[in-house]
C-alpha cells in the first residue's frame, strides 16, 4: 500500500498525520475527537490560522447528527458532509494533502473506517486592517491598500475587475515554506508569450523557502538578478494593479507581502504615479513632466555640476557663484561622495527611527550636517544645496527601487567624471543608455516605447492623455 494514502485504520491515520504535522512538538497544532454513531472523528487544525466560530458551528452540527438523519445505502462520510454547517468541503485521500491543508489553515477531519478525509475551509489569517499605503499616497483617490493577507489582496483586485476574463492561478513555492503565490492576469489583454514565460519560470522555481517573500521570488524569476535597475514594479495600491492588468501586464501576489509584483515593465512605468490620473489631463501632464525633471535631477544634477566647474569662463555671470570652487578635483570629489553618503545614511536612519523621535532626528541632522559641516569647511553651500535638490528628486521618484538605481548611476557617473572630466559625463551616459537599450523585462525592451520607437505610445507616457482618447 502507498504510504502516502490514508488507510482504513483510523488510529494509524491519526498517528501518521500527527507525526507529519509535528504534533506534540508544535503547540499550535491541535486535535479534537468526536464520536458520532459509534464512529470516531478526529479533528486536526492549526489553532492560530482558523476561525474558531466556524469550528464551533461545525461541532454543533455534528453533535445534532441523529439517527433519523441517516440515509440508506449512503457512505458514512457523505452522511457527515450532509450534516456539516460549512461550505467548501472537499475530500482528500493522501496524507501529504491533509498535512498541507492543515498548515494552510484548513480543518481536516479523519473519519473512522474511511479512506478519505474531510477538508473544510475555516481559514482566518491574522493581519492588519486595510489602510492607505504609506509609500503611494494620493490627494484624491481610494484609500485602500494591500495587506499581508493574500485573500484580502485578491479580493481588492476582484472588486475592481468584475469579469470572468480575470484569471488567478495558485502556485505553492518552497518545499518547506509552501508559500502561496497567485498569478493574476486578464486573459484577453496579456501577451501569450509573456504569460508562457512567467508560467514556465514559476513552475521551474525550486527552493526550500521564500524567506523574503516577494523580493526572493523576484530574484528567482527575472533575467538579470544583478541589474541595479528594477525589472518589475512593486505597488501596494489595488487600483494601480487593476490599471496595469488592463494594460496587459501580469501581477504576482505573494502571501505575507503587502505588495504586488507587476511585469513586464519599462523604465517609464516606474516613473508614473496614480496621482497623475486623479487630476485633469492638463494638471496631470504638469505633475508628470515636473516629476520627470525631478527624477533627471536626482542622478544628473551633481555629476553635471562636477563636470563643468572647470569651465566656468564659458558661463554667464549670474551662473558664476555656483561654479566658484578653489579646492582640487580630488577634494571636490571627496566632498560630493561624503555628502551623498551622508544623505543616504540619514534616509536609512529615518526608516528605522520611531515616529516619536523622527522630529528630533531631523533637527539634529539639520544642525549637525547643514550648519556645523558648512561652518567647519567640510562642505560648501553649493554642494549641500545640490545634494538637497538631488535628494528631493529621488524622493519624488514613484518607484523606490528606481530611486536606488539612480543613486548608483550617480555615483558611477561621478567616478567616471573624476577621471575624464566633461568627456567622462558623455561616456558614462552613453554606456548607461546602451546598457538600458539591451535590458529586457520578460522579453519586453526596458526602454519601450523609446526603443523600439513608438511615437503614440511614448506620447502617452509624456502627456497625461484624456481617458476617452487613451481608450481609442
Q: Which of 109, 4, 125 is nearest to 58 (CA)?
A: 109
Beta strands in 388-430 (DSSP E): none
Alpha-carbon distances of 263 from 147, 230, 355, rounded to whole Å: 20, 10, 34
Tell me, what's the pLDDT at 200?
94
Q: How many residues make up the chain in this entry?
A: 472
How large is the greatest C-alpha to C-alpha distance in the chain, in angstroms? 103
Tell me, what's the pLDDT at 1?
45
Tell me, what's the pLDDT at 361?
63
Q: Which of 262, 268, 243 is nearest to 458 (CA)?
A: 268
The pTM for the full model equals: 0.83
Cell numbers describing residue 112: 473512522
Tell me, what's the pLDDT at 247?
92
Q: What are residue 30's DSSP bridge partners?
A: 45
Q: What are residue 111's DSSP bridge partners?
A: 41
Residue 131 CA, chain-centre distance (Å), reads 16
Write the DSSP assignment of 110-159 as a string of letters: EETT-S-EEEE--B----PPP---SSS--SSS------S-HHHHHHHHHH
Angle, nearest 10°, between helix axes 381-395 and 281-308?
140
Tell me, what's the pLDDT at 323?
73
| CB 156, CB 144: distance < 8 Å | yes
Alpha-carbon distances of 429 from 328, 401, 421, rounded to whole Å: 24, 20, 13
User: What pairing do the DSSP bridges indicate for beta strands 117-120 and 107-111?
Assistant: antiparallel
- List, run by run, the mean pLDDT of 10-residue segments along the chain (472 residues): 80 91 85 86 89 83 69 67 75 90 90 89 80 82 87 90 90 87 94 94 90 87 91 93 94 93 94 87 92 94 89 72 74 87 80 67 64 72 86 91 94 93 92 95 93 90 80 54
Tell me, what's the pLDDT at 411?
93
Amino acid at each position: 500500500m502507498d504510504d502516502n494514502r490514508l488507510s482504513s485504520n483510523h488510529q494509524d491515520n491519526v498517528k501518521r498525520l500527527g507525526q507529519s504535522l509535528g504534533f506534540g512538538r508544535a503547540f499550535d497544532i491541535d486535535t479534537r475527537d468526536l464520536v458520532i454513531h459509534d464512529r470516531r472523528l478526529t479533528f486536526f487544525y492549526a489553532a492560530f490560522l482558523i476561525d474558531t466560530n466556524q469550528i464551533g458551528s461545525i461541532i454543533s452540527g455534528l453533535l445534532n447528527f441523529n439517527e433519523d438523519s441517516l440515509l440508506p445505502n449512503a457512505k458514512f462520510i457523505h452522511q457527515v458532509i450532509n450534516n456539516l454547517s460549512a461550505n467548501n468541503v472537499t475530500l482528500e485521500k493522501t496524507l501529504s494533502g491533509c498535512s498541507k491543508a492543515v498548515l494552510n489553515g484548513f480543518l481536516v477531519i479523519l473519519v473512522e473506517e474511511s479512506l478519505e478525509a474531510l477538508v473544510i475551509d475555516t481559514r482566518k489569517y491574522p493581519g492588519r486592517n486595510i489602510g492607505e499605503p504609506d509609500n503611494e499616497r494620493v490627494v484624491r483617490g481610494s484609500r485602500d491598500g494591500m495587506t499581508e493577507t493574500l485573500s484580502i489582496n485578491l479580493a481588492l483586485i476582484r472588486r475592481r475587475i468584475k469579469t470572468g476574463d480575470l484569471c488567478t492561478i495558485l502556485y505553492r513555492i518552497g518545499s518547506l515554506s509552501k508559500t502561496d503565490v497567485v498569478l493574476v492576469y486578464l486573459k484577453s489583454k496579456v501577451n501569450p508569450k509573456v504569460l508562457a514565460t512567467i508560467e514556465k519560470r514559476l513552475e521551474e522555481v525550486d527552493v526550500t523557502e521564500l524567506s523574503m517573500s516577494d523580493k526572493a521570488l523576484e530574484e528567482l524569476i527575472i533575467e538579470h538578478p544583478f541589474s541595479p535597475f528594477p525589472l518589475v514594479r512593486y505597488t501596494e495600491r489595488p487600483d494601480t494593479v487593476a490599471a496595469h492588468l488592463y494594460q496587459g501586464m501580469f501581477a504576482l501576489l505573494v502571501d505575507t507581502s503587502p505588495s504586488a509584483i507587476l511585469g513586464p515593465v519599462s523604465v517609464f512605468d516606474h516613473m508614473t504615479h496614480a496621482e497623475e490620473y486623479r487630476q485633469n489631463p492638463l494638471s496631470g501632464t504638469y505633475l508628470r513632466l515636473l516629476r520627470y525633471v525631478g527624477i533627471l535631477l536626482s542622478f544628473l544634477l551633481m555629476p553635471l555640476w562636477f563636470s563643468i566647474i572647470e569651465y566656468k569662463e564659458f558661463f554667464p555671470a549670474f551662473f558664476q557663484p555656483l561654479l566658484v570652487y578653489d579646492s582640487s578635483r580630488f577634494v571636490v570629489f571627496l566632498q560630493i561622495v561624503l555628502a551623498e553618503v551622508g544623505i543616504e545614511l540619514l534616509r536609512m536612519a529615518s526608516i528605522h527611527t520611531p515616529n516619536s523621535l523622527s522630529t528630533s532626528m531631523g533637527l539634529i541632522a539639520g544642525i549637525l550636517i547643514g550648519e556645523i559641516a558648512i561652518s567647519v569647511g567640510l562642505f560648501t553651500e553649493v554642494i549641500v544645496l545640490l545634494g538637497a535638490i538631488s535628494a528631493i528628486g529621488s524622493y519624488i521618484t514613484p518607484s523606490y527601487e528606481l530611486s536606488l538605481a539612480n543613486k548608483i548611476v550617480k555615483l558611477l557617473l561621478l567616478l567616471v567624471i573624476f577621471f575624464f572630466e566633461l568627456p567622462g559625463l558623455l561616456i558614462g551616459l552613453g554606456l548607461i543608455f546602451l546598457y538600458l537599450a539591451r535590458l529586457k523585462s520578460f522579453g519586453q525592451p526596458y526602454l519601450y516605447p523609446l526603443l523600439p520607437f513608438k511615437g503614440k505610445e511614448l506620447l502617452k507616457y509624456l502627456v497625461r492623455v484624456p481617458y476617452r482618447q487613451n481608450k481609442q
